[in-house]
Amino acid sequence: MQLAEVKLGLTEVDRQQGPVQVIALTSGSGGTGKTSIAVNLAHALARSGRRTMLLDADLGASNVDTLLGLAPGQNLFDVMNGDCRLDDIILTYTDGLMVVPAASGTRQLAQLGCNECAGLVRAFSELDRPLDTLIVDTATGVSECVASFCRAASEVLVVVRNQSAAILESIAQMERLTADFGVIRFRILANRVASAAEGEAVFRKIITGLADDHRQTLSYAGFVPRDRHLMQATAGQTSVVSAFPRSRVAMSLVNLARQVSSWPQPVQPGGHVEFFVERMIQNENSGMEVTS
């Protein structure tokens, strides 16, 4: 793309916003709490005033809309089919949280290949909405689609429980994402633990279990306590952050949202097909004068 085109292409939205922070949540095994954390982290961010969007990218087993009591008309499947645009399917939850629903149980979506997922990722660059953070709830394991979303994100947050199998599977997942797809930076979040000490122990076990060749850069993103309020909120189809704001779990998620907001913002594309890549390029050049 020529620089002149880039400058001419700047919309008011681009002028008003910086690069979008994209956080992909993933895990080596199912049931670790990815969706619960994605939903509540996204809502906590929206409540704090960040313009936040939640993408349900667990394409085969999506349930973000159910957790939040939303009733999507069309979904990502219709976007992939060319029946509507991404912008048409965005739902709004409390505090302005934008939600992109997927289609539960749609086999075609669960089996998308690399190119089709890259197409989905690219569709985000055309969104005209001002945005600070995109939270992506991906599937479990290392399908091509999970890898595409992780490569396209600025942060990969691996959600792990303190169970031997979950820890081993998260290690295997990170090693594959590194070896086969070049993802090297991960943040570890311990979920459903009883204490800060247990969360730190989970992180230590992961460090010890990873191969000794130092191919990954890992950081600890903290812990979310095991707390029945989360399940109660889920049963009521609401976020725990709204239903039980004073619960331990809600407070830990608000705290995580604060932390996330202070993670370094992406400054330039990383070389893969990325969410909002055009906006990033435009933003880099936005300090230059518009001459035509």
Ligand X SMILES: Nc1ncnc2c1ncn2[C@@H]1O[C@H](COP(=O)(O)OP(=O)(O)O)[C@@H](O)[C@H]1O
Q: Contact positions toward ligand X, by CB under 6 A?
A: 27, 30-36, 191-192, 224, 226-227, 230-231, 234, 249
Interaction of residue 29 with Mg ion, rule CB under 5 A: no
Question: What minimum distance in Å lies between the beta carbon of 63 and ligand X?
Answer: 7
Instruction: Please answer whether residues 120 and 80 qualify as being in contact, where contact means their C-beta atoms are separated by less than 8 angstroms.
Output: yes
* Bridge partners (DSSP) listed for residue 54: 99, 135
* Residue from the set 26, 35, 133, 191 that interacts with Mg ion by CB under 5 A: 35
Q: Is 32 in the site for Mg ion (CB under 5 A)?
A: no
Shortest Cβ contact with ligand X: which residue?
A: 33
Helical ranges in 19-157 per DSSP H: 34-47, 64-67, 76-80, 107-110, 114-123, 144-152
- Structure tokens of 155? 């942060």
Which of 137/227 has CB closer to Mg ion?
Answer: 137
Select the binding partner of residue 227 from ligand X, Mg ion, none (C-beta < 5 to 8 A, by kind).
ligand X
Which residues sit opposite 95 in a β-bridge? none
Q: How far is the CB of 83 from ligand X (least distance, A)?
A: 27
For every residue of 121-187, DSSP letters joined together read HHHGGG--S--SEEEEEEEES--HHHHHHHHHSSEEEEEE-SSHHHHHHHHHHHHHHHHHH---EEE
Q: Which residues contact 176 (CB under 8 A, 6 or more apart)?
A: 142
Partner interacting with residue 43 (select from ligand X, Mg ion, none; CB below 5-8 Å by kind): none
Percentages helix, strand, coil for the chain, rounded to the nearest 5? 45, 15, 35
Q: Which is nearer to ligand X, 68 or 281 (CB)?
A: 68
Residue closer to ligand X, measured from CB, 148 or 234: 234
Closer to ligand X by Cβ: residue 224 or 273:
224
Minimum CB distance to Mg ion, residue 106 (Å): 15
Residue 21 touching Mg ion (CB under 5 A)? no
Q: Is position 138 an interface residue for Mg ion (rule: CB under 5 A)?
A: no
Q: How far apart are CA 31 and CA 43, in angstroms?
A: 20
Span from 35-43, 77-85, 142-150, 261-269 in contact with Mg ion (CB under 5 A) = 35-43
CB closer to ligand X out of 140 and 154: 140
With contacts defined by CB under 5 A, name the span among 31-39, 66-74, 121-129, 150-158 that binds Mg ion: 31-39
Q: How many helices (H) and strands (E) does the chain have?
A: 14, 8
Closer to ligand X by CB, 40 or 178: give it. 40
Query: Shortest Cβ distance from residue 223 to ligand X (Å)?
Result: 9
Give the residue closest to Mg ion by C-beta. Answer: 35
Nearer to Mg ion, 35 or 247 (CB): 35
Q: 125: buried, middle or exposed (CB in 10 Å: 19+, 13-18, 0-12)?
A: middle
The two tokens of residue 232 are 């109660």
| Contact positions vs Mg ion (CB under 5 A) | 34-35
